[in-house]
Structure 1
Amino acid sequence: MSEDLGTPVLDNHLHLDPEHGRGMAAVDDFARLGGTHLIVVNKPSWHLGPVPSDAEAFRSVFETTIEATREASERLRGRAWPVLGVHPGLVSRLVDDEGYDPAAARDLMREGLAIAAEFVDEGRALGLKSGRPHYDVSDAVWDASNAVMRRAFEHGAELNCAVQLHSEASEDLTELAEWAVDAGMEPTQVVKHYASGRLAGPTPSVMCEKDWLRTAAERGEPFVMETDFVDDPEKPGMVLGPKTVPRRVRWLLDEGYDDAVATAHVETPRAVYDIDTEATLSESASE
């Protein structure tokens, strides 16, 4: 029997790999501890197939994620939504391993984003993911990566959808939020994946370390919570497991941070993604 924490419980960023990883067993672990909603982000394309050589190669990766998300929804008291895009680390795979020049890598990654945007436009995905490398790269690769990210913001503005960002660790990414605004996005719809408890600019998706969560809760600003569960059997201890968000929600409630839980699991998801975790929970419970 699943625990009921008395609130929607959303993991804002995790991966599912039903073929190679734990897949639905991870979803069941999340649900048993009281988890109700998931944002399922596609794994890097080269983890679900070969390094893409053309834009259409991204499509099967996106379809795999959508199908996993559909199966996850059937196992949750709430539901799951897919977020699709091109991992910024692909630029290094293309340039360093496949012999692309940075401009050609940029163009292929933009084409992949355009296909992800098609899925959002069709209502099959909730938002996009993009970003730039969090490690040192050449100036040309950095510029190419920023150009890809700016294109994601253009799609986000056109589709009125959120863009999740992989980027360098920082407590001030105001510049990236400003780029999104320049493209026509609402800054609240820019979400920094793997954030600490304090961030200027985008909405922080806070990794579930207790110190970071306490900081986010006491700031009183919008935030969401995530594990970045990678669902890779070769890296079982990497990042955080699927039980972590519900466990941290219980801890926050025990510590008296009820308002922060409502912020992270009801109010911010509504502002960022236009989703209603309370309504979807009650609809599921009534079926």
Structure 2
Amino acid sequence: MEELQTPVLDNHLHLDPERGRGMEAVEEFARLGGTHLLIVNQPSWKLGVESTDPEEFRPVFETTIEIVGEATDHLPGRAWPILGAHPGLISRLVEDRGCSPAEARDCMQGILDIAAEYVQEGQALGLKSGRPHYDVSEAVWGASNDVMKHAFELGGELDCAVQLHTEASKDLTEVADWAESRGLPAYKVVKHYAGGRLAGPTPSVMSNKDRIETAAKSGEPFVMETDFIDDPERPGAVLGPKTVPRRVRWLHEQGYDDAIRTAHVETPERVYGIDTESTLS
């Protein structure tokens, strides 16, 4: 990517140095031209945390912060952590741990409170939350929305972005309005695994060519991601770490240099307050 002289940010991926590729994946990303990563903590159950005590989720965040530090050493730019509770946790709490939806809600809001401590201390860049992308009961859906609204309250207080896992949608203006009413600007709400167009939050566009081209043509703010899960038991489940650098090269070949700057310089600065140019070594 040297000829482009641009930062290249993957906005959402996971790393698992213990069981997955870990730093090998980071090195592959960097070798293809990648410069910056936003690393999201693994779902807590993947790290063996099956508790209903929010404090027992702290090691999930500590592990992610350590991984981010190591990843930064392998990048020409740097990595940042995004911390929170995967929305699928509510189903595990209700179905496996015997929690009521209200108890599960309280646990997940407590986990977000702990994640917010790391943001406040400058150890994390933003929060993650959301709601299930699969069918759930009305009570679980309502509790999940309450968890997400709590994340927006924290984001408003901390002036930090909130990344969302949600159902597939081209219109999440209602969710963006919930954030706005809690003091978090809609553009600081980032829809993970988004298509090329989205009303409401900022789309973090999955880096398939069709989705990326749609976003590039729109002229609207967006970022790019792979959702790389680093799970050896699910190879090829989502996109690999080479994908974003390759798509940036493809966008350049197609003449979308303005979109490259939008996705890798302007939108990251607007949403997260990060400078992907000055943090390049």
**TM-score normalised per structure 1:** 0.97
| Map of 1:101 onto structure 2 | 100
Q: Is this contact kept in 2: 1:30–1:246, CA < 8 A?
A: yes
* 1:129-155 deviation digits (Å, cap 9, x = unpaired): 000000000000000000000000000
Taking the aligned partners of 1:13 and 1:3, their CA distance within structure 2 comes to: 23
Taking the aligned partners of 2:3 and 2:115, their CA distance within structure 1 comes to: 34
Paired residue type of 1:239? V
SS for the counterpart of 1:103 is helix
| Map of 1:32 onto structure 2 | 31
SS for the counterpart of 1:183 is coil
* 1:11-42 deviation digits (Å, cap 9, x = unpaired): 00000111111110000000000000000000
| Map of 2:50 onto structure 1 | 51
SS for the counterpart of 2:65 is helix
SS for the counterpart of 1:130 is strand
Taking the aligned partners of 2:135 and 2:51, their CA distance within structure 1 comes to: 23
Report the CA distance between 1:250 and its aligned residue: 0.2
| Map of 2:186 onto structure 1 | 187
SS for the counterpart of 2:252 is helix
Paired residue type of 1:48? L
Paired residue type of 1:274? G
Please, which runs of 5 or more residues in structure 2 have no aligned partner? Answer: none
Taking the aligned partners of 1:74 and 1:179, their CA distance within structure 2 comes to: 38
The sequence identity of aligned pairs, in percent, is 71
SS for the counterpart of 1:84 is strand
| Map of 1:22 onto structure 2 | 21
Q: Is this contact kept in 2: 1:69–1:81, CA < 8 A?
A: yes
| Map of 2:239 onto structure 1 | 240
Report the CA distance between 1:3 and its aligned residue: 5.1
Q: Is this contact kept in 2: 1:40–1:65, CA < 8 A?
A: yes
Q: Is this contact kept in 2: 1:3–1:32, CA < 8 A?
A: no
Q: Mark the CA change 1:4 to 1:112 in structure 2 (over 3 Å): closer, same or farther.
A: farther
Paired residue type of 1:213? I
Counterparts in 2 of 1:121-136, with a 5 A limit? 121-136=120-135
| Map of 1:177 onto structure 2 | 176
Q: Is this contact kept in 1: 2:81–2:125, CA < 8 A?
A: yes
| Map of 1:116 onto structure 2 | 115
| Map of 1:225 onto structure 2 | 224
SS for the counterpart of 1:8 is coil
* 1:33-61 deviation digits (Å, cap 9, x = unpaired): 00000000001000112323211111000
Report the CA distance between 1:198 and its aligned residue: 0.7
Q: Is this contact kept in 2: 1:15–1:231, CA < 8 A?
A: yes
Taking the aligned partners of 1:57 and 1:25, their CA distance within structure 2 comes to: 29
SS for the counterpart of 2:54 is coil
| Map of 1:253 onto structure 2 | 252
SS for the counterpart of 2:279 is helix
Taking the aligned partners of 1:83 and 1:255, their CA distance within structure 2 comes to: 32
Taking the aligned partners of 1:205 and 1:52, their CA distance within structure 2 comes to: 30
Taking the aligned partners of 2:2 and 2:118, their CA distance within structure 1 comes to: 33
Q: Is this contact kept in 1: 2:15–2:229, CA < 8 A?
A: yes
Q: Is this contact kept in 2: 1:85–1:129, CA < 8 A?
A: yes
Paired residue type of 1:55? P
Taking the aligned partners of 1:179 and 1:164, their CA distance within structure 2 comes to: 14
* Matched length: 281
Q: Mark the CA change 1:47 to 1:5 in structure 2 (over 3 Å): closer, same or farther.
A: farther
Paired residue type of 1:251? W
Taking the aligned partners of 2:54 and 2:3, their CA distance within structure 1 comes to: 43
**TM-score normalised per structure 2:** 0.99
Please, which runs of 5 or more residues in structure 1 have no aligned partner? Answer: none
Report the CA distance between 1:236 and its aligned residue: 1.2
Taking the aligned partners of 2:152 and 2:3, their CA distance within structure 1 comes to: 37
SS for the counterpart of 2:277 is helix
Paired residue type of 1:99? G
* 1:70-91 deviation digits (Å, cap 9, x = unpaired): 0000110000000000000000
Q: Is this contact kept in 2: 1:4–1:34, CA < 8 A?
A: no
Q: Is this contact kept in 2: 1:36–1:78, CA < 8 A?
A: yes
| Map of 1:74 onto structure 2 | 73
Q: Is this contact kept in 2: 1:91–1:141, CA < 8 A?
A: yes
Q: Is this contact kept in 1: 2:193–2:227, CA < 8 A?
A: yes
Report the CA distance between 1:207 and its aligned residue: 0.1
Paired residue type of 1:252? L
